[in-house]
Structure 1
Amino acid sequence: MPGWRRARPVGPDESSPLTEPEYVQRVRAMLVLGGVPWDQLDDGVQQVRLKLLEERAKPGQPEIREPMAWLTAVASRVAVDWHRARTRDAGLRARLAARWSRRPPVEHPEERRVLALAVANGLEGLSAVQRQVLTLRYYADLPVRDIAELLDVPEGTVKSRLHSAVAALRKQLRDLEVI
């Protein structure tokens, strides 16, 4: 196409538009306008920065001619993605609450209470993704297929996340000498 130049390799010392304050301010403004909370703006800027790096890493991609326009469009899509994830999580919480409300309370011996508290503390030490799949699988008792559908990821990804989460939780419990 006329007017398009081929992308050149990005060197380690080459500046990125997201290192310049005016670009960062524009991205933050777009995220705020998109409804992203103040405490998550830095994460949003990092997501835009990652998308910029991914775009530049594609072989044969033309150079971004208007970085400000490109960053503005990507920041607005990041804000939309944030809202979609929040909506999905809210619906998930409601379904979990409904599922738990149908279960009768069960009395457990002291030993199981100690283990339950240790597991709850261990869950806090896991990443949000690991906590999410463990909660859905073992607390909500959802099959892998349903979890994959809820999170909009492949079943293999759910299995992989479950495996790493269980291993990390097991290590924490062994370190505490609970198991």
Structure 2
Amino acid sequence: MDEDERARLAEFVASRAPALMRVAYLLTGDLGDAEDLLQSALAKTIPRWGSIRHSDPEGYLRAVMYREQVSWWRRLRRRREVPIGTSDSGVRDSSADADLRLALRAALWQLPPRQRTVVVLRYYEDLPEARVAYLLGCSVGTVRSRTHRAITRLRQLLPNMEPLELRR
């Protein structure tokens, strides 16, 4: 990798790392795991940087993160820790709806990892079902059923939450 490519890579990482870190945090539910996920995805992306810099490096990196997270679930399926309560995540949120976001974050942590990932990809990343299915290596029907189960569970966990379109 020549000096120009290193400079472009450093600029990309510096400018996009906060957004990528937020996605990693939403996928993992833990700041330390999010840092590990992003670092692992970067380690897999950097050797291919020269071939992806002209297309969509952020999209490529996000796909690597999603797939890496799925691999972690498969390896740690039985040994996964379940967070109890909430802690300061280190991810800053300047929204006026902090209480809503804290309640939603706590509810997301209570979802199984695969349901949480589908919710993050569908609603935070705003990806279509077919793209989510492709990224997770499953069928569109699986994405739909996981989304349905996740939304049903979130409604159980947050029964008094108004639909967002009613809040003004």
Query: Please, what TM-score do these two structures have when normalized by structure 2?
Result: 0.42
Query: Please, what TM-score do these two structures have when normalized by structure 1?
Result: 0.39
